[in-house]
Amino acid sequence: MAEPITEADLRERISAFLADHDPAGDRLAFLRARFDAGLAWVHFPVGLGGLAAGRALQPVADDAFAAAGAPDNRPSRIGIGLGMAAPTILVHGTDAQRTRFLRPLWTGEEVWCQLFSEPGAGSDLAGLATRARRDGDGWLLDGQKVWTSMAHVARWAILLARTDPDVPKHAGLTFFVLDMTAPGVEVRPLRQLTGEAEFNEVYLTGVRVPDEHRLGDVGAGWKVAQTTLMNERVSIGGGALPREGGMIGVLARAWREQPAVRTPGMHDTVMRLWVRAEAARLTGLRVRQQLAAGAPGPDGSAVKLSFATLNQQISAAELDLRGDEGLRRDSWAMSRPDDVDFTGRDTGYRYLRAKGNSIEGGTSEVLRNIIAERVLGLPAEPRVDTRVAWKDLPR
C-alpha cells in the first residue's frame, strides 16, 4: 500500500511540475498537464486528476499554483461541473464515464449544467414529469426543465428523468448525462430581476440519449441525485473562502472606505453580520472536512441556508451604507453571461441577485425541513404521496 501524500510531498511535486511547465505558456496545455499530473483535485483517484491525497491538501495546491501565476480553470464558469457533476460521476459513473468526462470538465473545455427542476417539480423534485422511454440501445427524452444556469453555454448536462410512471415517484427515476448539442434540445433565456438571463428553460423533444450515458442503475436516479444535491449545497454555501471572503468582504471594504456615512446603528449591523459570516465560513470548513470521509450529509443544507440568508442581509446592508449611489446599475441591458459572479459586480446587482439565493440550489423552506428531520431528528411531515404510483398522483 502506497504511503499517504504529505504536504511536503505535494509541494515537491508542484515545484517539479512548475519547473517543467511554464505558467505563462499555453493556458489549456498547462491545465491539461496539471490534470494529468494529479494536481487538479488532489483528493481524486490517481489517473482522474488526483493523487488520492487528503482533501485538506487541495488549498495547498491551489495556493501554490496561484502564487506561481498559473492560469485557473475559471471556476465561476464551470462551478456546476466542479461542484455537482464531477462528484456524482466519480461516485456513480463507470470507468469509461470517468475517463471521458472528468478531464475536459476540470480544464473548462466542456461546461456543464443541471437539468433537474421543472415547472411542476421544483421543491418536490421527485414529482418531475420529464419522461425517458427505452429506444433500442438508448432512450428518448421528452419534457421541460427550468431555472437552468449556464444552459446556453453548456456542452453537457446532468439530468433526472422518469423511466417508470407505475411506481412511487422516488422509485421511477433514472439519472442521465445529456449532450446539450443533441437534436431536440432547445434552450430559451429566462430574464432575471438583474436584467440578464443567467437562467434558462430547456425543452426536450425526442432527444436520444445512448444507454452508456446513463449514470447508475435504471430506477436508481433518486439515489444518484442525492449525491448531486448534497454536493450542490456544499458547493454553493460552503466554498473555500478566506476570512472576509465573499459578500462580507465587499461590505467590510465599503465600511472602511466611507467613514463619513458610518453610524452607531450601522456599525452594530456590520459587526453582527461579520461575526455571523465568519461563523458560517468556519462551519463550511467543517462540512468540507466531512467530505474526506465520504459523501456530504444533510449538514450541507444548513450551510447553504446560512449562505442565502446572509447574502441577502449583507447586500441589503451594503445598499443602506452606500445610499443613493448603491441604487445605480452599470447596465440593465439584456445579456446572457458566461459565468456566475455573486460579488464582482455593482451594489445594485448584488442586492437583486442575492434574492435568488434562497431559491436556487434548494429553497430555504425545503432546507429547513431537511435540517429539522435529518439533522435535528424531528418528526417528519405526514406524507401519503410516497406510496402511490406517480401516474396516479394529482397534478
Query: Which tens digit of pLDDT belongs to each residue from 348-377?
Result: 889 999 998 888 877 888 889 888 988 889
From 30, 46, 72, the end of a domain falls on: 72
CA distance 358 to 122: 13
From 30, 55, 72, the end of a domain falls on: 72
Could you say which of 118, 196, 232, 318 is catalytic?
Answer: 232
Residue 352 resides in a domain? yes
Residue 173 resides in a domain? no
For the stretch 372-386, pLDDT in tens is: 988 889 998 888 888
3-state per-residue secondary structure call for the chain: CCCCCCHHHHHHHHHHHHHHCCCCCCHHHHHHHHHHCCCCCCCCCECCCECCCCHHHHHHHHHHHHHCCCCCCCCCCCHHHHHHHHHHHHHHCCHHHHHHHHHHHHHCCCCEEEECCECCECCCHHHCCCEEEEECCEEEEEEEECCCCCCCCCCEEEEEEECCCCCEHHHHEEEEEEECCCCCEEEEEECCCCCCCCEEEEEEEEEEEEHHHEECCCCCHHHHHHHHHHHHHHHHHCCCCCCCCCHHHHHHHHHHHCHHHCCHHHHHHHHHHHHHHHHHHHHHHHHHHHHHHCCCCCHHHHHHHHHHHHHHHHHHHHHHHHHHHHHCCCCCCCCCCCCCCCCCCCHHHHHHHHHHHHCCCCCHHHHHHHHHHHHCCCCCCCCCHHHCEHHHCCC
For the stretch 72-109, pLDDT in tens is: 999 989 999 999 999 999 999 999 999 999 999 999 99
Whether residue 238 has pLDDT greater than 60: no
Q: Strand 156-162 and strand 112-115: pairing?
A: parallel
Reply yes or no on whether 12 is catalytic: no
For the stretch 116-158, pLDDT in tens is: 999 999 878 999 999 999 999 999 999 999 999 999 999 999 9
Residue 260 resides in a domain? yes
Domain CATH number, residue 322: 1.20.140.10
The residue ranking higher by pLDDT, 239 or 232, is: 232
Residue 345 resides in a domain? yes
Query: What's residue 357's pLDDT?
Result: 87
If one counts the domains in the chain, the total is 2
Residue 58 resides in a domain? yes
On average, the pLDDT of the chain sits at: 90
Residue 282 resides in a domain? yes
- Mean predicted confidence (pLDDT) in 34-62: 93
Query: What's residue 128's pLDDT?
Result: 96
Query: What's residue 151's pLDDT?
Result: 96
Residue 47 resides in a domain? yes
The pTM of the full predicted model, rounded to 2 decimals, is 0.89
Domain that holds residue 62: 15-72
At 307, is the pLDDT very low, low, confident or very high (cuts 50, 70, 90)?
confident
At 40, is the pLDDT very low, low, confident or very high (cuts 50, 70, 90)?
very high
Residue 29 resides in a domain? yes
The residue ranking higher by pLDDT, 70 or 373, is: 70
